[in-house]
Structure 1
């Protein structure tokens, strides 16, 4: 959903800028980003080591058969005993990639990862590692912040004599499909500051995956350097990055939907890149692609409910107020598509569009309504959109909060969050009572 003047920078330039300088602006001021050095010489420590395929490690988001992460905010979780956690990262890690990690629901700590190295992320020197836990074991979570980069897990280490513990799957699963808006582009910590992260973490008791990448269209065509659209790429493990092209070329790994439990809820927010005249996507092509994405979701996860979000392109000033921009005509088209899915006229054969075989049939049995429309109008105002035409951290929090309430009311989902929704560096306050 970026302007013509900055979109080319989105896919090819900003990622490199982040890795090299890690500059974050906070209210127009440069925020310090000097993260602790966590790299160690593994030979100097005594560890109990687990390989990347250990059943104790739970992979979050999309990871390929080489244990390389893809898309936005992928991560790992596990329980551990003792007061030590270290991870050895493989050579396919993006050198310098920023990761967030934490114990339980505490605040995120951050580290730049060196490919092929071991990083000590929890140690007895960490004051949080010695806190009295209400349960044993501790919970450790790590997430990749940047949507263009990734890590490769080689092995995970606990202290000698201690162990990792497999955590039980949480009670619900949510999938977010989108572009730069969901990926967290231009928020402070990208994936970990996005509305998609805040939505899932804020619901609590919910596993989540954010299959989103900046610049990508719903329609299957080149958009801002992304060679394929989500109508195709969602069915694959890797994203549309140059990193994926270098590793897999034209033969990426199809995503194994049977390897993990089905999503209960899928949130789709895509179309702002289709709506940019630079990409020349017609309304018919966009709605057809969005329809096929929903059909593909329903084919893979027949019991999943789907939420389609309305689109936004920023704000424009008129007189002394601001008004939201939107792709011309698409508000009605998206609404009509949702109505069609829920009209009783929609028929779906078990052999559906899956982005790979591209088989589509609408001559099967009638489907119960499963598609819902979430109107984003009025949630964000002009000061919730940054200079890059994307939500600020606060804008992302507002979208996530409204979506949580919509989900609660629509599906009667309880909000179980007891600490997991943490937006780092958003502790802003006024300590001057009189001014």
Structure 2
């Protein structure tokens, strides 16, 4: 949505979060944005119900306006990031059945001069893949504000994955993930990230997930126990309405790390057939989508005095790509639509954190290499915008003597 003044959100449901940064508790004294409730009938305000056409919902939301890729209702402990245009993210915790004032004259970006006919954009995202919000109402001052629906960008990208792309163990999780950095870094791209920690590609129970992505990607709800409580695990689970949303020009698939785990016992044949199935499901819905399959990295092992990157299903993923591309194995995918992104050599052993997931720097490396791969392979021009992407992480030194 776009805005011209104070903006207030009312949520249907809670807060307080601890973030560990290099083993130490990171300060989280975020501003308290909660205010007294505002009713749609209160004078001085224009209220927009969650089904108002002026509101833009990105990613997967259900008919109750629950952000399903992140969880149901407004989760206890949820931390949200919000901003005006491409300014630095601001962070705040939400509280149960509350109203929050996000935009005031003191908000960064509020008084920045806009180009002719431009209207500032307000954006809000949940930082954790397992938490979520449920929108009840949006309020704007009657005297000086209006909301305007944001037109879709011309380019669209989908990413289907697991915890590696969800940003698990990143500083700000989803806000720190390479998948988000990739899509925002490209600029002016409609993006959707369907990534659940622990999930397999093959449709089986993996690390608490009842299904794999060959099943789950086709559904609205996520894989959480909360979703199970609401929708159950039967034929009535609502399907995602692909036809009601823009088709992805590029679909990125990064799956298999959980399939290869001995705890999940997925065979090579099952993995291969499931990969083919998922690609067929994608192309059945988006016939012109170009698909990038990412090679797996499975951490590093020490060999002598150096470190060597591991892998998984290397030949199998190549076989899958070959089956769609008339046997071709060149980087551009031959005559087919399936392309192979080789991660070998991008990450170093210290780009993987203690819990086997990329560090913030590792996420940045993956995002930047993927951006260049997409530019070279598909001719996507990198937009000359400069959005704030990697939030709250200091990479520069401001000490002159040390």
TM-score of the pair, normalised by structure 2: 0.89
The answer as to whether partners of 1:203 and 1:417 remain within 8 angstroms in 2 is no
Task: Decide which moves more: 121-130 or 229-238.
Answer: 121-130
Q: SS state of the match for residue 138, structure 1?
A: coil
C-alpha separation in 2, matches of 1:172 and 1:421: 20
- Shift, 1:249, TM fit: 1.4
Cα distance between partner residues in 2 of 1:417 and 1:56? 27
**What's 1:244 paired with?**
227
Tell me, what secondary structure is at the counterpart of 2:350?
Answer: helix
Query: As a proportion of its length, which structure holds more strand?
Result: 1
Question: Residues 163-195 of structure 1: CA distance to partner in whole angstroms, max 9, x if unpaired?
Answer: 101111111000000000011100011111000
**Any residues of structure 2 matched to 1:271-310 within 5 Å, and which?**
271-310=256-295
Alpha-carbon contact 1:344-1:368 (below 8 Å) kept: no
Alpha-carbon separation, structure 2, partners of 1:288 and 1:323: 29
Partner of 2:91: 110
Match of 1:88?
none
Q: Is the 8 A contact 1:257 1:300 kept in 2?
A: yes
Q: Check the 8 A contact 2:15/2:96 in 1, yes or no.
A: no
CA contact (8 A) 2:61 2:69 kept: no
- Counterpart contact for 2:351–2:358, Cα < 8 Å: yes
Question: Secondary structure at 2:322's aligned position in 1?
Answer: helix
The answer for the alignment partner of 1:219 in structure 2 is 202
Q: CA deviation at 1:431?
A: 2.9
Pairwise CA distance, 1:133: 2.2
Separation in 2 of the partners of 1:56 and 1:428? 38
Partner in structure 2 of residue 412 of structure 1: 379
Instruction: Please say if 1:155 is aligned against 2:137.
Output: yes
Moved more, 214-223 or 333-342: 333-342
Distance, in Å, in 1 between the alignment partners of 2:358 and 2:301 is 15
The C-alpha deviation readout for 1:91-133, integer Å capped at 9, x for no partner, is: 9221331111100000111111123211111112325312222
Instruction: Determine whether 1:58 maps to 2:56.
Output: yes
**Distance in 2 separating the partners of 1:396 and 1:239:** 23
1:108-160 CA distance string (max 9 Å, x none): 11111123211111112325312222353110011111111111111112121
**Structure 1 equivalent of residue 11 of structure 2:** none
* Cα gap change, 1:66 to 1:262, in 2 (>3 Å): same
Return the alpha-carbon distance in structure 2 between the equivalents of residues 42 and 333 of structure 1: 56
Gaps of 5+ in 2: 1-13, 329-333
Stretches of structure 1 that go unaligned for 5 or more consecutive residues are: 1-18, 75-90, 346-366
Match of 2:68 in 1: 70
Q: Are 1:202 and 1:417, in contact at CA under 8 Å, matched by a contact in 2?
A: no
Residue pair 2:84, 2:108 contacting (<8 A) in 1 also: no
Contact 2:85 2:123 in 1 (8 A): yes
Equivalent pair of 2:87/2:388 in contact (CA under 8 Å)? no
User: Whole-Å Cα distance in 2 between the matches of residues 421 and 123 of structure 1?
Assistant: 20
Aligned length: 377
Q: TM-score, normalised by structure 1?
A: 0.83
Q: Secondary structure of the equivalent of 1:164?
A: coil
1:380 matches 2:378: no
Corresponding residue for 2:75? 94
Distance of 1:127 and 1:430 partners within structure 2 = 24
CA shift for structure 1 position 335: 0.7
Deviations 1:172-225 (A, max 9, x none): 000000000011100011111000000000000101000000000001100011
Distance of aligned partners of 1:308 and 1:261 in 2 relative to their CA distance in 1, 3 Å threshold: same
Mapped to 2, the partners of 1:380 and 1:234 lie a distance apart of 28
Alignment of 1:157-236 (within 5 A): 157-161=139-143, 162-236=145-219
Q: Partners in 1 of 2:246 and 2:380 — Cα distance?
A: 18
The alpha-carbon distance between structure 1 residues 302 and 383, as it changes in their structure 2 partners (threshold 3 A), is: same
1:142 aligns with 124
In the alignment, the residues of structure 1 paired with residue 230 and residue 288 of structure 2 have an alpha-carbon distance, to the nearest angstrom, of 34
Higher helix share: 1
Aligned to 1:425: 392
Q: Distance in 1 between matches of 2:400 and 2:254?
A: 41
RMSD: 2.0
